[in-house]
DNA sequence: AACTTTTTCAACCGCGCAGGA
DNA sequence: ATCCTGCGCGGTTGAAAAAGT
């Protein structure tokens, strides 16, 4: 560990956005040594960045197998939602089922949706400006609901940073157990935090690009998002030419799940989903969909 | 067009585990 | 057996971009 209190030899740690030059240095390091020895990058004076920062940069931005600029597909959304319900906020774990996605991606995706959902549920949904919507339409949404499918907020995996049901008994969302459970390592038993859950939904995703380089590595526990460095990332990618991960073909296997915990009827109640539109995404839904959350009899 | 709000995303932080000295 | 170091993870923050008014 670096000398506490900031030893003299090493340049001050730089923080903030990475420059192209820094990226280049980092890439060169990975090319030569593989994605490891992060700390040596600073100790050798290659970059004034902490090892931690270097690793993060590599994992989240520079890794060659990342999908960049692609929004989460409907399938990916379902995977995240399903897995989050099963194992909680184990983003790194969930990310292993989503080739080309990082734990940060998954985390951001989830928190964005949680925020939006929270806003929609908590604050009264702002009505369309009076007059902008021809009168009755908006105000009548709630009344048009099929009468009482009582909305249960528990159905919605809402408390994003807390836990799914099986965690909620814990004293804190950040306690030792959950923390320890999250410290899985390659080779760990799958889903250590998933008490009583079935084994991981074996390769939820099958993907042309997934598992490249490791033909038999479709191990349920490690769907080989990023196989261990084999010294040949770059050569392999160069040969591959087009990265199949950039615009993957549809991901398979995920059983159609509920929409944020709402069953189809609710969704239908919002008159948004066609019964066959199982692939619809949160984003696709107009705000009116959630108007009925304003119902005064919502449970506290 | 200007302003405000919301969303997205990159990056940092603290914690805890694993492994080596 | 203990300490130290490196690494990985989950949570959080803040700036930029996009969308809405």
What digits encode the pLDDT tens for the residues A141-180?
333 333 333 333 333 434 433 333 333 333 333 333 333 3
Domains identified in chain A, total number: 2
Same domain, A161 and A57: no
Confirm whether A161 is domain-assigned: yes
Distance A113 CA to C17 C1' (A): 18
Confirm whether A160 is domain-assigned: yes
Same domain, A177 and A201: yes
- Give dist(CA A252, CA A223) in Å, integer: 14
What count of Cα atoms within 13 Å lies in the side-chain half-sphere of residue A270? 21
Confirm whether A115 is domain-assigned: yes
Distance A108 CA to C7 C1' (A): 22
Structure tokens at A252: 């398979």
- Give dist(CA A117, CA A275) in Å, integer: 22
- Residue nearest C3 (alpha carbon to C1'): A1
Token pair 């597909």: residue: A73
- Residue nearest B7 (alpha carbon to C1'): A112
Last residue of a domain, one of A189, A206, A240: A240
Which nucleotide, over all strands, has the C1' atom closest to the CA of A59? Answer: C8
Confirm whether A262 is domain-assigned: no
**What average pLDDT does the structure give for chain A?**
54
On the question of pLDDT at A11 being above 60, the answer is yes
Q: What is the pTM (predicted TM-score) of this model?
A: 0.57
Confirm whether A7 is domain-assigned: no
Confirm whether A178 is domain-assigned: yes
Inter-residue contact A204 to A96 (CB < 8 Å): no
Domain at A31, CATH number: 1.10.10.60
Confirm whether A283 is domain-assigned: no
Inter-residue contact A190 to A94 (CB < 8 Å): no
> CB neighbours of A254 closer than 8 A, spacing ≥ 6?
A75, A78, A79, A82, A201, A204, A205
Same domain, A206 and A170: yes
Which nucleotide, over all strands, has the C1' atom closest to the CA of A187? Answer: B18
Confirm whether A236 is domain-assigned: yes
Domain interval for residue A53: 20-62
Same domain, A115 and A200: yes
Same domain, A158 and A55: no
Least confident of A98-102, A164-168, A277-281: A164-168
More confident residue, A29 or A261: A29
Q: Which residues pair with A130 in a beta bridge?
A: A133
Same domain, A189 and A51: no
> CB neighbours of A206 closer than 8 A, spacing ≥ 6?
A251, A252, A253
Same domain, A49 and A110: no
Inter-residue contact A184 to A93 (CB < 8 Å): yes
- Please give the pLDDT value at position A223: 38
Same domain, A26 and A172: no
Distance A173 CA to C8 C1' (A): 19
């Amino acid at each position: 560990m670096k000398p506490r209190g900031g030893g003299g030899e090493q340049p001050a740690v730089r923080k903030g956005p990475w420059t192209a030059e820094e990226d280049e240095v980092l890439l060169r390091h990975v090319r030569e040594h593989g994605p490891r020895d992060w700390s040596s990058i600073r100790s050798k004076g290659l970059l004034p960045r902490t090892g931690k920062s270097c690793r993060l940069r590599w994992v989240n931005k520079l890794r060659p197998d990342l999908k960049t600029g692609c929004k989460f597909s409907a399938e990916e959304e379902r995977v995240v939602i399903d897995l989050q319900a099963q194992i909680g906020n184990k983003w790194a774990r969930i990310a292993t089922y989503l080739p080309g996605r990082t734990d940060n991606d998954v985390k951001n995706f989830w928190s964005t949706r949680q925020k939006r959902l929270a806003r929609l549920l908590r604050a009264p949904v702002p009505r369309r400006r009076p007059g902008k919507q021809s009168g009755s339409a908006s105000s009548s949404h709630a009344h048009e609901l099929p009468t009482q499918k009582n909305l249960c907020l528990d159905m919605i995996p809402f408390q994003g940073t807390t836990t799914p049901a099986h965690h909620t008994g814990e004293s804190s969302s950040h306690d030792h157990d959950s923390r320890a459970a999250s410290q899985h390592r390659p080779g760990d038993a799958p889903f250590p935090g998933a008490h009583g859950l079935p084994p991981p939904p074996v390769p939820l995703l099958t993907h042309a690009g997934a598992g490249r380089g490791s033909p038999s590595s479709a191990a349920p526990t490690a769907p080989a998002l990023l196989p261990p460095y084999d010294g040949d990332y770059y050569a392999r990618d160069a040969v591959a030419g087009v990265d199949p991960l950039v615009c993957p073909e549809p991901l398979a296997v995920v059983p159609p799940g509920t929409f944020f915990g709402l069953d189809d009827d609710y969704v239908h109640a919002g008159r948004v989903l066609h019964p066959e539109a199982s692939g619809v995404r949160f984003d696709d839904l107009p705000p009116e969909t959630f108007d009925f959350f304003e119902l005064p009899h919502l449970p506290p």
